[in-house]
Amino acid sequence: MTRSLREVVFVDGVRTPFGKAGPKGMYAQTRADDLVVRCIRELMRRNPQLPADRVDEVAIAATTQIGDQGLTIGRTAALLAGLPKSVPGFAIDRMCAGAMTAVTTTASGIAFGAYDVAIAGGVEHMGHHPMGEGVDPNPRFVSEKIVDSSALVMGSTAENLHDRYPHLTKERADAFAVGSQDKYAAALAAGKIGPELVPVATRSAEQGWGLATADEPPRPGTTVEGLADLKTPFRPHGHVTAGNAAGLNDGATASLLAAEDVAVELGLPIGMRLVGFGFTGVEPEVMGIGPVPATEKALARTGLTIDDIGLFELNEAFAVQVLAFLDHFGIADDDPRVNPWGGAIAVGHPLASSGVRLMTQLSRQFAERPDVRYGLTAMCIGIGMGGSVIWENPAWEGEK
């Protein structure tokens, strides 16, 4: 029996508005699974030409898979969203790259021929489930010096990255963070942020019912001077602050993937075409460097170079992590190809959901940029990993 791989396309992506985690956040009394259910329903509503029984798999990521993020959330969310009971689902965890891995895993199944259409996404309610809740790290990690104790605290790994690359100063990190806030504000004002958002009904015992329609974390008007004196919670006189890192957030994402021939058959839009991807491990103590070797792997396996990439959507878990990537590849801190609509420092980073936010934004940017052929989505991953996915723009008009 001979097999030929099929082209995989990103059809559509949506997300909830991202909220601030904690008792005062807009999702404080909203269930995590309801957030992702809302995204799945919206995907189906936006693509009525897709029969629900043509969905072959639902893969939903969560970093903390307990409580309202547990119980094989891909399957339970599919049922709650009203998909036919014949549609299976599963849960996935690769910490911050959960949704990214949900995409690459189901896309691989599509390419192989096991699926025609899949839904992939992620959810993280950090207000209900703080990072690390309920985990019991094996004491051998530290006692046998497999990792330094700082490897288990993400903010400390960012400080370690500043140590390793002292030219990545706090001043550069603060300036990059201000740029993220400014670009997000400009994109919001221009209507770039919004079409992908799914309104979510919220409930508060004190304020009653509400409707979440906008992101809660952004801090418009942020200045370098205002960030300069913020506390450095991970180390006295350190570099990482609440201003140059993503916050603690709640939110969900979902995307629709299909074989390209099936998308054409059903009349589904084609937002972008999967070219290749790479995941790799690095020293857990400096997990923020992970996107560098992951991108090198993805480029090598696709025969591309960094010069072929016309748009970058890089997750801003910490400013220093993005700066390390940019320096490695010789890209300026303020290169307009990088996070043109701002990033996680402004909009937030609900861990396992963020990968699909990056992809959804890249897909919409492609539609506006027929001069760009390839784009890249990349992120660092806790416990020392990196992930990178390369996409092709179907609207590319060719060399001129």
Residue 53's domain is classified under what CATH number? 3.40.47.10
Residue 208 lies in a domain: no
Per-residue model confidence as pLDDT tens digits over 332-362:
999 999 999 999 999 999 999 999 999 999 9
- CA-CA distance, 79 to 60, in Å (whole number)? 13
Q: Where does the pLDDT of residue 1 fall: very low under 50, low under 70, confident under 90, or very high at 90 and above?
A: confident
The pLDDT of residue 320 is above 80: yes
pTM of the model: 0.97
Residue 147 lies in a domain: no
Tokens 């895993």 sit on residue: 105
Tokens encoding 355: 């990968």
Which residue segment(s) compose the domain that 258 sits in? 8-127+246-390
Residue 316 lies in a domain: yes
Question: Residue 224: CB partners within 8 Å, gap ≥ 6?
Answer: 171, 174, 175, 178
Name which of 9-23, 101-115, 202-216, 232-246 the model is least confident about: 202-216
> Among residues 213, 196, 195, 249, which one has the least CA distance to residue 17?
213
- CA-CA distance, 269 to 11, in Å (whole number)? 6
H helices of 169-283, in order, are 170-189, 224-228, 260-266
The pLDDT value given to residue 400 = 58
Tokens 């390839």 sit on residue: 374
Residue 372 lies in a domain: yes
Average pLDDT for the chain: 97
Residue 185 lies in a domain: no
Residue 160 lies in a domain: no
254: left (phi over 0), alpha (psi -120 to 50) or beta: beta
Q: Where does the pLDDT of residue 110 fall: very low under 50, low under 70, confident under 90, or very high at 90 and above?
A: very high
Residue 74 lies in a domain: yes
CB 14 within 8 A of CB 46: yes
Burial string for 343-378 (b: 16+ CB within 10 Å, else e) reads bbbbbbbbbbbbbbbbbbbbbbbbeebeebbbbbbb
348: left (phi over 0), alpha (psi -120 to 50) or beta: left
> Among residues 235, 232, 252, which one has the least CA distance to residue 244?
232
How many distinct structural domains can be found in the chain? 1
The catalytic residues are 96, 349, 380
Residue 56 lies in a domain: yes
